[in-house]
């Protein structure tokens, strides 16, 4: 069956999903409608509505847009069904109820930013970098009742350099995800007759091109949602662990730590840390204490000194360490709170 004859409903919200939608549209795939989240209130008074990145792209290309508040809403289900989709493609979207993902005869597949079964969950890119992985990737899989557990269709690996932050990996997987979405549709199309689909055993075809997720006796890493409290730095860990933690949350949402003066009652200052560098210099003092050498700033961790390169004082702009040192008096009397994360 030609790819142009497969009626596709695309579901997604952020910029990560736009690249896949754009790739389908520009390569002649038949996207008949787009489903995305409702516009979000923004501004000081929450009096303006901000459409999702996917909606903006869809409107620019005259694609019908559905924005259900609830995925089980009867009116939405009826409207979605009216598009007679053969296939639904999901990229960075919310969890779908069964009534939605079973609707198309060719099923619903998701583009997940990890090599499943590793890193199931909402933040797979962050956690892969946080855990110091040297490789991640993208996976397409058919949706089923549990989160990120469906049958795997295709996978593509992606190398993570030791110096890469999550933004680098995000961009790489965004483009790789667009590729694998097209390839997955092409694979499905290649298994279908050219014209008459009467009597076609769709479930058998979909099972033929996919495999169940196996654990292979490996330890599986989860990828839970990131919250503010997730981002606090634990200086009791090794320099390598802290270094990877910072990379995995930079530039957004950013790691943070409280800087305080033990000899003062001044309220601690919240410092966001965006970039660090490993050193081969052993720690020389208690964890969290600072070492200033010329225009360089180091923090004692559980084993080595970790150099701080880019920071942001609460209420100010992101800056390099030289600007930070110039604007922060008596920095050597301060230390970071050594937080034990429970």
Q: Are 69 and 44 in contact (CB under 8 A)?
A: no
Specify the DSSP element, H or E, that contains 270: strand 269-282
CATH number of the domain at 228-336, please? 3.10.25.10
Q: Residue 191: phi, psi to the nearest 5?
A: -95, 0
Q: Are 146 and 116 in contact (CB under 8 A)?
A: no
Q: In the 8-state DSSP scheme, what is residue 13?
A: -
Give the pLDDT of residue 217.
66
Q: Are 259 and 267 in contact (CB under 8 A)?
A: no
Residue-level pLDDT, tens digit, the chain, 342 residues: 888 999 999 999 999 999 999 999 999 999 999 999 999 988 777 878 999 999 999 999 999 999 999 999 999 999 999 999 999 999 999 999 999 999 999 999 999 999 999 999 999 999 999 999 999 999 999 999 999 999 999 999 999 999 999 999 999 999 999 999 999 999 999 999 987 777 889 999 999 999 999 876 679 999 999 999 999 999 999 999 999 999 999 999 999 999 999 888 889 999 999 999 999 999 999 999 999 998 999 999 999 999 999 999 999 999 999 999 998 888 888 999 987 544
CATH number of the domain at 3-208, please? 3.40.50.170
Q: Please count the residues of the chain.
A: 342
CA distances from 307 to 91, 162, 299, 300, 320 (A): 37, 16, 6, 9, 12
Q: Where are the domains of the chain?
A: 3-208, 228-336
Give the pLDDT of residue 341.
47
Q: Are 180 and 158 in contact (CB under 8 A)?
A: no
Helix crossing, 15-26 with 166-190: angle to 10°?
40
The residue with tokens 């305080």 is 260
d(CA 218, CA 234): 27
| pTM flag (> 0.85) | yes
Give the pLDDT of residue 195.
75
Assess whether the previous peptide bond of 253 is cis (omega < 30° from 0). Answer: yes
Assess whether the previous peptide bond of 92 is cis (omega < 30° from 0). Answer: no
d(CA 198, CA 176): 34
Give the pLDDT of residue 265.
84
CA distances from 210 to 6, 17, 132, 151, 153 (A): 19, 23, 29, 6, 4
Q: Which two tokens stand for residue 330?
A: 């008596």
The residue with tokens 């490996």 is 218
Give the pLDDT of residue 278.
98
**Nearest one of 65, 3, 14 to 173, comparing CA atoms:** 14
CA distances from 34 to 41, 52, 139, 257, 266 (A): 21, 12, 21, 41, 52
């Amino acid at each position: 069956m030609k790819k142009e004859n497969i009626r596709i409903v695309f579901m997604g919200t952020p910029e990560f999903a736009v690249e896949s939608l754009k790739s389908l549209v520009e390569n002649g795939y038949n996207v008949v409608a787009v489903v995305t989240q409702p516009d979000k209130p923004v501004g000081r008074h929450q009096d303006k509505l901000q459409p999702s990145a996917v909606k903006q792209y869809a409107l620019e290309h005259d694609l019908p847009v559905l924005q259900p508040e609830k995925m089980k809403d009867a009116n939405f289900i009826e409207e979605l069904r009216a598009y007679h989709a053969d296939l639904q493609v999901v990229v960075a979207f919310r969890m779908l109820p069964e009534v939605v993902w079973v609707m198309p005869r060719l099923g619903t597949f998701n583009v997940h930013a990890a090599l499943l079964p590793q890193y199931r969950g909402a933040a797979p890119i962050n956690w892969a970098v946080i855990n110091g992985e040297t490789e991640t990737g993208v996976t397409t899989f058919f949706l089923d009742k549990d989160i990120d557990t469906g049958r795997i269709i295709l996978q593509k690996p992606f190398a993570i350099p030791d110096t890469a932050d999550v933004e680098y990996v995000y961009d790489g997987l965004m483009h790789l995800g667009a590729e694998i979405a097209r390839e997955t549709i092409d694979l499905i199309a290649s298994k279908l007759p050219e014209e008459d689909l009467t009597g076609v055993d769709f479930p058998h075809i979909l099972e033929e091109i996919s495999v169940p997720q196996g654990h292979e006796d490996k330890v599986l890493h989860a990828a839970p949602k990131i919250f503010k409290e997730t981002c606090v730095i634990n200086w009791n860990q090794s320099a390598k662990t802290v270094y990877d933690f910072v990379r995995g949350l930079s530039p957004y949402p950013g790691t943070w730590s409280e800087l305080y003066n033990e000899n003062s009652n001044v309220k601690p200052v919240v410092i966001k840390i965006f970039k660090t560098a490993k050193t081969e210099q052993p720690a020389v003092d208690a964890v969290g204490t600072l070492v200033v050498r010329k225009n360089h700033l180091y923090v004692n961790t559980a084993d080595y000194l970790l150099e701080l390169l880019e920071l942001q004082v609460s209420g100010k702009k992101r800056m390099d360490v030289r600007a930070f040192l110039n604007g922060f008096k008596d920095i050597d009397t301060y230390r970071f709170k050594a937080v034990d994360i429970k």
